Amino acid sequence: MEVSEVAPAGSGPVNIPLCPGAVTSCCPLKRAWIYSGPEHTKRGVIRNCDRIDVRMFRFSLDRATDNPLPMNTMTAPPAPKGHFLLGHLPRMRNQPLEFMTECARLHGDFVHLRVANIDAYLLSHPDLVEEVLVTSNRNFIKPRLLREAGAVLGNGLLTSEGDFWLRQRRLMQPAFHRDRIASYGVTMVDLTREMLAGWHDGETMDIHEEMMRLTLGIVAKTLFGADVVQHAEDFGAALEVALQRFIERMGFMRLLDALPLPRNRRFKRAIGRLDEIIYGIIAERRENGDGSGDLLSLLLGAQDEDGSRMTDLQLRDEAITLFLAGHETTAIALSWTLYLLSLNPGAEARLVEELEEVLKGREPRMDDMATLQYTDRVVRESMRLFPPAWRVGREAAVDCEIGGYHIGAGAQLIMSQWVIQRDPRFFDDPEAFRPERWDDDLARRLPRFAYFPFGGGARRCIGDGFAMMEATLLLASIVQRFHLSLVPDQSIVPFPSITMRPKYGIRMTLKRR
């Protein structure tokens, strides 16, 4: 299925087998092809197409797929109308989820945006995501916003590039081996049990706050061991200040960074407190030679092929990165999962049935993961609808081509899990919460990047196994003991910043089972 030539204008109707029922003809006035017929191929969509240059359809046959991606070699992708000065910045900042979904549905898989004076492109097809993150990944670096996070994260895995990133990833990978993270399961269940012991029948609480507190304790214990437990609240407060800084820097607030404003002083104090705690723990570990088995002890002992080890600064940067990523994202995933279960009693009932059958009243363990299949699907479906990391960004390091379009160096590329994971081409009834959709190996049948809550390619989240184990064990522990129902008349909306928190929290009432 390939179109490789363009008939001259005025040559009359020409049939091209784009998909069953499609008819194309050449328009002599527009020098374009008129398309009429079904909008959908089996796994692909040609949206809002009334005039299409035949050159845009370059179908790739090198993948085993029945849904080839229409590729475009025209010089300029479609673009929605924007502000004459700010371009699409106002809507990207104020309504990013709605705006990106609208762009993809109305303008297609490759959309040109202008964010003030910056060129950006929204890519909304799995094949385009794969081209950026895998096939042509050497042409791209992390986006501008994330690089600016270096003021907090330093040069950790999330922000570093090139050979330095590769060395750090190689040093850290053993700490996230499946056998190694399995040992953290006991800590996760123990701390969840302590939390549940403080819950009372009929009590109302903000479940997001509770999950943030719980995952904060877990990442503190697994990363630093007992050394940091007493400092966990300080860590949480400092990280909250750091996250707020990220949010503010998404707009024009970065212009105020150099001024002696209260927010800047708070930020500096928070970073100073984080550094004080982390460097203090590192110094104590080096002095005592403590090999307690937590992540910090593994990083201290990590040795590269040339015998070199991480410096204190590198350890600090990786610790901050792991703390921030490991704490925030799992709490968000659990919050949205409990919210969705409260709206879908059938799914909750099936989950409870599985927990009763598999666990028989005892606490979940790491070796239950293989048999808690529906629990796993509940987590996966929740992260499909409400991905904690709702977009992946890259910046073109060099002039290059993606999807047949020229991309200039410095352009920002946006790939949104929120948009692609709700695309009806890949998911039936995409807005519905249906954990059973993952039966029969759906994940294997999907295009590679139709579902990518942990990113993908060489820079896929190093802690994805840790996160899935944590979310599964914590969800099983909670639902086994309590039914949670939504408090009526509250506003529950996603707040897409660096992650996608519930903007006003999620208030729920507890009922002991």
**In the predicted model, is pLDDT for residue 105 greater than 80?**
yes
CATH 3.30.43.20 in the chain is located at: 80-140+390-430
In this predicted structure, what is the pLDDT of residue 42?
A: 31
Over residues 9-20, mean pLDDT: 36
Distance CA 28, CA 169 (A): 56
In this structure, the dihedral spanned by the alpha carbons of residues 303, 183, 455 and 94, taken in order and rounded to 10 degrees, is: -110
Name the pLDDT band for 243 (thresholds 50, 70, 90): low
Distance CA 484, CA 191 (A): 19
Dihedrals phi, psi of 76, to nearest 5 degrees: -135, 125
DSSP state of 46: -
CATH 1.10.630.10 in the chain is located at: 155-389+453-512
- pLDDT, tens digit, 9 for 90 and up, residues 381-413: 999 999 999 999 999 999 999 999 999 999 999
Distance CA 313, CA 299 (A): 12
**In the predicted model, is pLDDT for residue 34 greater than 60?**
no
3-state secondary structure of 49: coil
Q: pTM for the complete prediction?
A: 0.82
Protein fold of 155-389+453-512: Cytochrome p450 (1.10.630)
Name the pLDDT band for 277 (thresholds 50, 70, 90): confident
**In the predicted model, is pLDDT for residue 254 greater than 80?**
no
Over residues 128-156, mean pLDDT: 88
**In the predicted model, is pLDDT for residue 37 greater than 70?**
no
**In the predicted model, is pLDDT for residue 493 greater than 90?**
yes
In this predicted structure, what is the pLDDT of residue 491?
A: 94
In this predicted structure, what is the pLDDT of residue 291?
A: 59
In this predicted structure, what is the pLDDT of residue 51?
A: 33
In this predicted structure, what is the pLDDT of residue 39?
A: 35
**For the chain, give me the number of helices (H) and strands (E)?**
18, 14
Among 8-22, 154-168, 190-204, 285-299, the range scoring the smallest mean pLDDT is 8-22
**In the predicted model, is pLDDT for residue 318 greater than 80?**
yes
Name the pLDDT band for 25 (thresholds 50, 70, 90): very low
Three-class SS string for 289-308?
A: CCCCCCHHHHHHHCCCCCCC
In this predicted structure, what is the pLDDT of residue 68?
A: 54
Distance CA 299, CA 340 (A): 37
Over residues 282-300, mean pLDDT: 77
Between these two residues, 164 and 287, which has the higher pLDDT value?
A: 164
In this structure, the dihedral spanned by the alpha carbons of residues 110, 114, 117 and 120, taken in order and rounded to 10 degrees, is: -30
Q: DSSP of 120-137, one letter per residue?
A: EEEE-SHHHHHIIIIITG
In this predicted structure, what is the pLDDT of residue 225?
A: 76
Percent of the chain with pLDDT over 90: 52
**In the predicted model, is pLDDT for residue 97 greater than 90?**
yes
**In the predicted model, is pLDDT for residue 129 greater than 80?**
yes
Percent of the chain with pLDDT over 70: 80
Distance CA 424, CA 430 (A): 6
Name the pLDDT band for 111 (thresholds 50, 70, 90): very high
Q: Which residues pair with 173 in a beta bridge?
A: none
Over residues 366-372, mean pLDDT: 94
Among 190-194, 242-246, 375-379, the range scoring the smallest mean pLDDT is 242-246
In this predicted structure, what is the pLDDT of residue 282?
A: 84
- pLDDT, tens digit, 9 for 90 and up, residues 466-485: 999 999 999 999 999 999 99
Q: Please give the C-alpha separations between residue 202 and each of 25, 214, 508, 509, in angstroms, as whole numbers.
A: 67, 20, 10, 6
Tokens 């302590």 belong to which residue? 194
Q: Which contiguous run of DSSP H or E holds residue 484? A: strand 482-486
**In the predicted model, is pLDDT for residue 217 greater than 90?**
no
In this predicted structure, what is the pLDDT of residue 5?
A: 33
Q: Please give the C-alpha separations between residue 175 and each of 168, 219, 223, 297, 458, in angstroms, as whole numbers.
A: 12, 14, 10, 10, 17
Over residues 450-461, mean pLDDT: 94
- pLDDT, tens digit, 9 for 90 and up, residues 51-95: 333 323 332 323 334 455 555 545 789 999 999 899 999 999 899
Domain 80-140+390-430 class? Answer: alpha beta
In this predicted structure, what is the pLDDT of residue 303?
A: 77
In this predicted structure, what is the pLDDT of residue 30?
A: 28
In this predicted structure, what is the pLDDT of residue 258?
A: 63
In this predicted structure, what is the pLDDT of residue 266?
A: 82
Closest among 149, 116, 195, 161 to 474, alpha carbons compared: 195
The type of residue at 420 is: I
DSSP state of 485: E
In this predicted structure, what is the pLDDT of residue 250?
A: 53
Long-range contacts of 37-40 (CB under 8 A, 24+ apart): 40/425
Task: State the chain's mean pLDDT as an integer.
Answer: 82
**In the predicted model, is pLDDT for residue 328 greater than 90?**
no
- Cβ–Cβ contacts within 10 Å for residue 205, how many? 17
- Cβ–Cβ contacts within 10 Å for residue 280, how many? 13
Neighbouring residues of 348: CB distance < 8 A, sequence distance ≥ 6:
341, 342, 479, 483
